[in-house]
């Protein structure tokens, strides 16, 4: 797109179906590398990927010509297939815009997921992010 300039940084979070611990610790680095390959192939710049046994965090730059829903669908669909038979992501996701000035903090946050989740569950983390971003949600349906 000529003369189109954007700065769209997205912190995306999604969990395994029913938040089951389906991501073995020894496969997480390979999964993050796979996300990087998907992102590159789809025209996204993946700045960070991390997570735990039941969810992932992706920080990426979204170009102007790609819809957020399309980007997430490509990331989830390809990685689900790569993880193998019986692996499924939850239906939805959380996606939060990130100011360029906050990129170092979000990168560090993604890098510290294992440590972070010794103190806080995924459910508490996710609803806390929703609240801090002013996103309304129904507690009965937020996790599907």
CATH classification at residue 72: 3.30.70.1290
Residue 126 included in any domain: yes
For 34, the domain range is 9-101+122-132
**pLDDT tens digits for range 80-126:** 999 999 999 999 999 999 999 999 999 999 999 989 899 999 999 99
Residue 3 included in any domain: no
Three-state SS annotation for the chain: CCCCCCCCEEEEEEEEHHHCCCCCCCCHHHHHHHHHHHHHHHCCEEEEEEEECCEEEEEEECCCCCCHHHHHHHHHHHHHHHHCCCCCECCCCEEEEECHHHHHHHHHHHHCHHHHCCCCCHHHHHHHHHHHCCCCCCCCCCCC
Residue 13 included in any domain: yes
pTM of the predicted model as reported, rounded to 2 decimal places: 0.94
Domain count, the chain: 1
């Amino acid at each position: 797109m000529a003369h189109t300039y954007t700065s769209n940084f997205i912190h995306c979070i999604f969990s395994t179906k029913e938040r089951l611990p389906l991501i073995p610790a020894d496969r997480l680095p390979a999964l993050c590398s796979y996300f990087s390959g998907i992102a590159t192939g789809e025209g996204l710049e993946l700045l960070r990927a991390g997570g735990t046994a039941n969810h992932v965090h992706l920080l990426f730059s979204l170009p102007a010509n790609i819809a957020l829903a399309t980007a997430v669908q490509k990331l989830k669909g390809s990685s689900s297939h790569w993880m193998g038979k019986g692996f499924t992501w939850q239906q939805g996701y959380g996606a939060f815009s990130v100011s360029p000035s906050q990129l170092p903090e979000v990168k560090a946050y993604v890098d510290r997921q294992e440590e972070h989740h010794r103190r806080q569950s995924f459910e508490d983390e996710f609803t806390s992010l929703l609240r801090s971003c002013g996103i309304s949600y129904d507690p009965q349906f937020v996790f599907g």
